[in-house]
Copies of this chain bind each other. A is one copy, B any other.
Amino acid sequence: MIAEILTIGDELLRGEIVDSNKAFLSDRLLSLDVQTHWHASVRDDPADMTDAFLRAAERADVVLVSGGLGPTRDDLTSSVLAESFGRKLVRDENALEGIRAFFRAVGREMTPNNATQADFPEGAEVLANPIGTAPGFMLPLERAVFFCVPGVPREMMRMLDEQVLPRLAKRTGVAQVVRARLLRTFGTGESMLDDQLEDIAAADDVALGFRTAFPDNYLRPVARAATPEEAEAKLDRVCAQIRERLGAIIYGEGEETLPAVVGRLLREKGQTLAVAESCTGGLIAESVTEEPGASECFLGGVVAYANEAKRALLGVPQAVLEEHGAVSEETVRAMAEGVRERFGATYGLATTGISGPDGGSEDKPVGLVYLALARAEGTFVEHFVFPLDRHRHRRLTAHAALDWVRRAVLGEELLGPTLMRARGGASLPGASGKGT
């Protein structure tokens, strides 16, 4: 089955927002082995919308339409679709009551405009929207089937997973289902992953995709089989192979970010973390506290941006700052040990460096950064040069530092292969740009 995805909205064609819906929809359709051949966007204009609907109905089996389901006079999807295919527009009383109930639940009144959101082309099947006012609908035609969903991403994604995909799965009657996993890796470059997994990637029944999402590299095994259970079994097997091959390079799976993984591991072990940040400026603390449950394992930190703050808040000796400077092994060690002691944490993590664009010198170039991890058994210190812009330098540093904590909790070696080669000056693969 071939799909076309249409997104409706003046704001898209004016370039006011970036359309992220299409990528999400295309990706989800692939899980049912439905390939998308066309993406298109048109304005809230009846003629353009009609033209797009007719063309899509001609060339695609599945047409996903996002947007134009709101209560304003610019929201035309339902009426134009009805007109395009010679259907009457019919008010669905159940859907109308659902809209009323939604407003009651959030303590507001429905306006007359909202009633139009219960009007659908005759023959449509209404799709409930538990988190917004606009129901969606499915409209089967001669060859193509249309699924119309809201443009608001949160609402669209939920309706797709809960309402559209199950119905589409029934209709496709595909002999095969497609399932995928996402393995999240950090600490080695794409070409090295490529090498290490060459034979696994070449195997027949599971395709292995790679994607770089700085500073991580993602592995995406995709399995096809006759049933979901068989596909999942294939994925279990391949993932086990990959994990055995790559070891601690894999830090997580699915949507779980590195900070979330670190928080979970610390809580599981009953361990705690405090951070002393200079160049990362609060990025580590912020990422760990973004996750619910952080208070069980994260005690806090010090953003010791000014040198005096390193002395006053963390106890870095003035003599050390004067002799070795803020960006040095001696200072970062004192920062990590100082924050660990002051917060009474299992681990004290520290960063100090030169994220740029200014601040470099001949012996301490922009990109230089020191990390330290202090624990009961001692303090591990290392320095790197990450030749990246300020934004990326801070993020790679924070990520590498959190990865140290993850590895420490797991009892793994602290440095991944790429970080080992970046030690003291080599550039980091994946840190350089790619083109065209």
Contact = CB atoms under 8 A, between A and B. Distances in A.
A285 B289 CA distance: 13
A238 interface: no
Contacts of A30: 14-15
Contacts of A342: 312-313
A126 interface: no
B299 A306 contact: yes
A182 B63 CA distance: 36
Interface string A11-27: 01111111110111111
Task: Give the most central of A41, A43, A359: most B CB within 10 Å.
Answer: A41
Given A289-B281, A312-B343, A23 B15 contact: yes
A48 interface: yes
A266 interface: no
A343 B306 contact: yes
Contact of A391 (B288, B290, B295): B290
A303 interface: yes
Nearest to A289: B281
A70 interface: yes
A300 B290 contact: no
B436 A152 contact: yes
Contact of A40 (B26, B29, B40, B344): B40
Nearest to A132: B435
Interface in A261-283: 274-275, 277, 280-283
Interface residues of A, number: 85
A160 to B, nearest CB: 12
A301 interface: yes
B27 A23 contact: no
Interface stretch (A31-39, A83-91, A249-257): A31-39
A239 B284 CA distance: 39
A38 B48 contact: yes
A151 interface: yes
A394 interface: yes
A22 B26 contact: no
Given A42-B38, A305-B295, A70 B13 contact: no
B292 A357 contact: yes
A155 B15 contact: no
A412 interface: no
A385 interface: no
Contacts of A285: 277, 281-282, 285-286, 303, 305
A298 interface: yes
Given A37-B48, A290-B391, A301-B302, A308 B344 contact: yes
A188 interface: no
Interface in A38-67: 38-43, 45, 48
5 contacts: A16-B211, A18-B19, A134-B435, A282-B285, A299-B309
Given A14-B30, A299-B308, 7 more contacts: A37-B48, A281-B289, A282-B283, A282-B303, A283-B286, A295-B306, A302-B313
Interface of A: 12-20, 22-30, 35-43, 45, 48, 69-71, 75, 106, 117, 132-134, 150-152, 155, 211, 274-275, 277, 280-286, 288-290, 292, 294-295, 298-306, 308-309, 312-313, 342-344, 356-359, 390-391, 394, 432, 435-436
